[in-house]
Structure 1
Amino acid sequence: MDFVGRWRELRTLDEALDGVRASIGTAKPGRCLILRGRRRIGKSALVEEFTQRSGVPNVFYTSEIGLGADPLAEFSDTVVRSTLPEAEIFAEALPANWTAGLRQLAGILPDDQPSIVVLDELPYLMDEAGAFESVLQRAWDRELCRKPVLLILIGSDLAMMQALTSYGRPFHQRGSEMRLGPLDPADVATMIGAEPAPAFDAALITGGLPIICARWRAGEDMWKFLERELADPVSPLVVSAQLSLAAEFPEHTLARQVLSAIGSGERTFANIARAAGGLASTSLTRALSLLVDKGIVAAELPVSLTPSKDRRYRITDSYLRFWLTFLGPYLPELDRLRADLTLHRIRRGWSSWRGRAVEPLIRESLSRLLPAEGLPAVPVIGGYWTRTNDVEIDIVGADREPVAQELAFLGSIKWLENSPFDVHDLTDLQNHRFRLTDAAIPLIAVSRSGFATDHLAASFGPADLLAAWQPPGGR
C-alpha cells in the first residue's frame, strides 16, 4: 500500500534536513529530532518514508529487547548494511562499547553532504541510571553534532522519551521534540476511499491507527469492515488495544481498571470510582494522574464565565474508547467465533456512542477550520455542562479556558443519519445559552445530515470539517 498522508510531519522532517544542509561548513551543522508517539501510530513508517524520499546516506537502527539480544552488535550489523559511505569499517572492527560505536559512526559520516542516523525504539537502550543517555550526550557534543547529520531518536514509551529531554538529564535541550499523533480524518478518508461522513466514522473506529486503517478495503461499508475484522480474533482491530495496554501498563492493573470504567461510559470522579469497584479516593486520584500524564485520558472542565469543579474524564484515543466499550469486555465471544453477538451489540449502541465520541474530533476540526463563515479563530473550543447535566452545550468558543473572559460563539452538534438540525434543536440551544450568558452570542451548529433552519450564525457539515484537515492546495 502506498504511503498516505503525514504531509505536515514530512514537511517538518524536510525542514530539519534542510537546516542541516544549510549549515554545512559551520562548526556544528548537526541537528537532532526526538520523535515520540504511542505504539503502532506509524512513527517508524513515517521516518522510513522520509529517509527513502531524502535520497541522502542514512542508517536506520531499531533496537530490540529479548533473550540473547546484543544491541551493539545489531547496531554494527545495521550500519554495515546501510547506505553510509565506508560502512564496511564496522564489519572489520566491531566496537567494544557504545562510546566507541558512536565515535566510529561519526567517523564515517560525510562532511560535504547531509546524512541521516535513526535510532528507533530508543527506550530499550535507556536505563534509570541514564548511562546510555550520558554516552549519547557525549557522542553528540563531541563528534556527531560536528557532522552535517540529522539524528532522529524515536520512542514509544512516552514517559521515558519525556525524561530524555527533561531538566537535569544528560540530553536536555539537545534535540527538538516532535510528537506523532494518529492519521487525521482526511488521511483516513484518502486511505480507505471514503466520503466525508463515513470517513469520520472510520476515524472514530480506527483511531487513525495506520495498522487498522490498512485493513479497510477501499470504499468498504463500515459494517462490512467490522463484520470481517471481528471474525478474525487476531485482527489489529481486536488485538492492538491489548498489546498497547500490556506495554503501557505492565504492572499498573489499577490504571487499566480505571480505564475500563471510563470506557464503559463513566465520566465523573465519583462514578468512575464506583464502576471501578469502589476505589478509594487516593487510589483513584493516583491512577487518573498516571493516565492523564500519559495522555491517554483527558481531564476537562466546562468552559464558562464562572469557575466550575465539575471535571469530566474521557479517553483521548477514540479507537481505545471504542475497544473498551464494545470489544474488550467481550473478547471471549470473539474467541468463540461469535462475532455476530459483538456486532449486534455495536449496532445497538453505535448511535449513542458515536454522538459523544465525535464531539472532541469536531471541536478539533473547527479549531483548524476557523476563521470561516464569519466566525473568528479562537484560542479555545470546548464544551459546557452542569453537574446535573440539565444543560449541555457541545461547542463553546472562548478566549481562554476553563474560566473565559469572553465567549465568541456557542454551538450544538447533531451527528445522526437522516435527521437534520432543525428548529427544535435551535430552540434547545437558545434556551441553554441563557443559562450560560445573557449576551446575544452567535449560535452555530454542526450536523451530519444537513439543516432544516436558517436562523444560525454559521453551520458546518462533514465536508466542511474534513476540509479543515486538508493540506494547503489540496492533495
Structure 2
Amino acid sequence: MVRGRRRIGKSALAEEFAGRSGLPFAYYTASPGDPQAELSQFMDDIAASTLPARDLFAESAPGTWNAALLQLGQALPDDSPSIVVLDEVPYLMERVEAFEGLLQRAWDRVLSRKPVLLLLVGSDLSMMEALNSYERPFHQRGTEVVVGPLNPAEIQRMLGLSAKDTFDAAVVTGGLPLVCAEWPRGASVWEYLHQALGNPLSALLVSGERSLAAEFPTQAQAREVLQTIGSGERTFTNIARAAGGISHSTLSRAADLLIAKGVVTSELPLSTRPSKERRYRISDPYLRFWLRFLRPHMPEIERRRGDLTLRRIASQWSSWRGRAVEPLVRESLARLVPGSAAVGAYWTRGNDVEIDLVGADRAPVAGKLHFLGSIKWLENSPFDDHDAAALARHRAAVTDELVPLVAVSRSGVSCTGLSAVYGPDDLVRAWQPALARQTVWEIST
C-alpha cells in the first residue's frame, strides 16, 4: 500500500519498477468517473498488459468489480512472479460500493495464493491510511510504504548546491522530484526562479494547481481556507477574519478536512504546561511557496511578466524564508540531537514570548525540556549577543530551570554562552546516513 502526496512521483516510481523488473505486469489507474466506465477501463488495461493470460479479459468481460478482481487472479501465472498496480485506489474506495470488501475477498481467495506483488497506490493520505486501519476489510493484509519528498541531503546531491543554497531549494521545491528536475545543477534560487517564471508550463507553476484540483475538486471553502493559511495567517480567529468572516463551524469543517488530507498541520506550543493557543500552517513547503507567491499572480506570469512576480518574491524573501525554514530546521534537529523525542516551538497568545525551538521528551505537553533555541536565518547577519540575551529572557518565561540554549544560524554565531550551535552544513548532515551524523551537540558536550 503505497501512499504519498500528489506529484511526489509514486506512479512514475511504480511504472519504472515494474518496467525494470522484467516481469509480466498490469497497470491500471482509476479516475473519479462512473464505476462502470472505470470497470471497462480496468478490463482494457488488463487486456493490454503483459500478463500471460491477459486474453481472458478479451474473451470474457466480467460485469462487476467483484468478478473482475477474481478473474484477475485467474489471469496471473501460478509458477512465476508477476506485478499488478492499482493506482489512485481512493477513487475506487469512494465510488465502487464496498470496494475494500471486494478487494479483501479477491485477495484472500485468489490473489494471495499467486506469486504476485500487488501495489495499491494512492494520494489521498487519509483514505490510504484508512485502508489498513483496524476493523477495515483489508486490515493487516499489506505492507505500508510512504513515498516522501527528496530530503535536504538528496536535494544537495541532486542539484550540486552548497548547504545554504540547499535549504533555499528545499523551501521552494518542497523536495518534489518534478520541480527539482527543472533546477539547473549548481544554480542559485534566483537563477532557477528566473527560468521557471519565464515558462508558464513549468512544474513549479502547474504542480500546485493540479494538486488542488485533484485533492479538492468541489470543496471551494477548503481551498479558500487553504489560500488564507498560505498567505500567512496562523490562528483560527485571524484565518476566519481573512477568509471573509466565515463562521467558526464552517472553518472548523474546512480545517478538519485539510488536516485529514495532510495538507495543513495544526500545532500547539510545546512546554511543560498545556495550552490552547493553536496555530495552523501549510504542511508542504512547495505548496506554502506556491500559495504565497505564485497562485495569486498566475495571470501576470501567463502574460509573460514573471519578472514582476520575481521582484515581489525578492522584496519579501528574507522574512518569508525565515519562517518557512523553521519546520525543516525542527525536523533536522529532531534527527540530530540525542534523546529529543519532540522538537517544536513555544508562543503565547500575544506573542510577547516566542521561542523557535523547544526540545522535549514528548509533545505537546512535555515532562522534561531538553533545550530551548532560536533560529536566525539571515543572509549576512550572525546570531549575536542581542539574540542570545533575548533567548535567555524568554527561557525565564517558560521555565525556572537552566535548560541548555542552542542557536541555529545561516550566517554563523558571534556570541558565547550557548550549549550548541548549528549551521546549514550540520542540518544537511542530519539527513545523511546515521554513520555520517556526529552532531555539534555531541561535540560541544
* Partner-residue secondary structure (3-state), 1:456: coil
Q: Which residue of 2 aligns with 1:357?
A: 324
Question: Does the CA contact (< 8 Å) of 1:130 and 1:170 recur in 2?
Answer: no
CA distance in 2, matches of 1:77, 1:388: 60
Per-residue deviation at 1:54? 4.2
Q: Deviations over 1:149-175 (max 9, x none)?
A: 221101123343344334554323322
* Partner-residue secondary structure (3-state), 2:325: helix
Given candidates 56, 68, 91, the residue that maps to 1:124 is: 91
Alpha-carbon spacing, 1:63–1:282, altered in 2? closer, same or farther (3 Å): closer
Alpha-carbon spacing, 1:310–1:65, altered in 2? closer, same or farther (3 Å): closer
Q: Which residue of 2 aligns with 1:325?
A: 292
Given candidates 426, 430, 434, the residue that maps to 1:468 is: 430
Instruction: Name the amino acid aligned to 2:421.
Output: S
* Partner-residue secondary structure (3-state), 1:313: strand
**Mean Cα deviation higher: 296-305 or 50-59:** 50-59
Q: Which residue of 2 aligns with 1:160?
A: 127
Q: Which residue of 2 aligns with 1:433?
A: 395
Per-residue deviation at 1:49? 3.4
* Partner-residue secondary structure (3-state), 2:272: coil
The 5-angstrom pairing of residues 304-383 of structure 1 reads 304-370=271-337, 376-383=338-345
Q: Give the fraction of aligned pairs with identical amino acids, expressed as a percent.
A: 60
Counterpart check, 1:288 vs 2:251: no
The 5-angstrom pairing of residues 59-78 of structure 1 reads 59-64=26-31, 70-78=37-45
Q: Which residue of 2 aligns with 1:251?
A: 218
Per-residue deviation at 1:368? 1.8
Instruction: Name the amino acid aligned to 2:383.
Output: F
The 5-angstrom pairing of residues 219-298 of structure 1 reads 219-298=186-265
Q: Deviations over 1:244-288 (max 9, x none)?
A: 222222222111221122112111111111111112222222221
CA distance in 2, matches of 1:69, 1:301: 46
CA distance in 2, matches of 1:217, 1:169: 46
Instruction: Name the amino acid aligned to 1:429.
Output: L
Counterpart check, 1:457 vs 2:424: no
Instruction: Name the amino acid aligned to 1:138.
Output: R
Given candidates 206, 224, 233, the residue that maps to 2:173 is: 206
Alpha-carbon spacing, 1:128–1:44, altered in 2? closer, same or farther (3 Å): closer
Per-residue deviation at 1:43? 0.8
Q: Which residue of 2 aligns with 1:25?
A: none
Alpha-carbon spacing, 1:441–1:253, altered in 2? closer, same or farther (3 Å): same
Alpha-carbon spacing, 1:67–1:289, altered in 2? closer, same or farther (3 Å): closer
CA distance in 1, matches of 2:56, 2:209: 42
Alpha-carbon spacing, 1:53–1:445, altered in 2? closer, same or farther (3 Å): farther
Counterpart check, 1:420 vs 2:382: yes
CA distance in 1, matches of 2:64, 2:250: 43
Alpha-carbon spacing, 1:127–1:439, altered in 2? closer, same or farther (3 Å): closer
Q: Which residue of 1 aligns with 2:442?
A: none
Question: Does the CA contact (< 8 Å) of 2:35 and 2:96 recur in 1?
Answer: no
Per-residue deviation at 1:304? 0.9
Alpha-carbon spacing, 1:367–1:306, altered in 2? closer, same or farther (3 Å): same
Q: Deviations over 1:314-354 (max 9, x none)?
A: 11111111111111222222123221111111001001001
CA distance in 1, matches of 2:434, 2:78: 35
Question: Does the CA contact (< 8 Å) of 2:339 and 2:361 recur in 1?
Answer: no
Per-residue deviation at 1:80? 4.6
Q: Which residue of 1 aligns with 2:112?
A: 145
Instruction: Name the amino acid aligned to 1:465.
Output: L
Counterpart check, 1:181 vs 2:143: no
- State the number of aligned residues: 436
Per-residue deviation at 1:40? 0.8
TM normalised by structure 1 equals: 0.85
CA distance in 2, matches of 1:53, 1:164: 28
Q: Deviations over 1:74-126 (max 9, x none)?
A: 43444455444444544454445433433333234344444322111223333
CA distance in 1, matches of 2:90, 2:327: 31
Q: Which residue of 2 aligns with 1:105?
A: 72
Question: Does the CA contact (< 8 Å) of 1:444 and 1:456 recur in 2?
Answer: yes
* Partner-residue secondary structure (3-state), 2:118: strand
Counterpart check, 1:408 vs 2:370: yes
| Gap runs ≥5 in structure 1 | 1-33, 371-375
| Gap runs ≥5 in structure 2 | 437-445
Alpha-carbon spacing, 1:110–1:213, altered in 2? closer, same or farther (3 Å): same
Per-residue deviation at 1:64? 4.1
Q: Which residue of 2 aligns with 1:373?
A: none
CA distance in 2, matches of 1:293, 1:75: 29
Given candidates 407, 425, 445, the residue that maps to 2:407 is: 445
**Mean Cα deviation higher: 256-265 or 391-400:** 256-265
CA distance in 2, matches of 1:333, 1:69: 42
Alpha-carbon spacing, 1:258–1:151, altered in 2? closer, same or farther (3 Å): same
* Partner-residue secondary structure (3-state), 2:140: coil
Instruction: Name the amino acid aligned to 1:164.
Output: L
Instruction: Name the amino acid aligned to 2:425.
Output: A
Report the aligned-residue RMSD: 2.4
CA distance in 1, matches of 2:114, 2:144: 20
Alpha-carbon spacing, 1:55–1:450, altered in 2? closer, same or farther (3 Å): farther
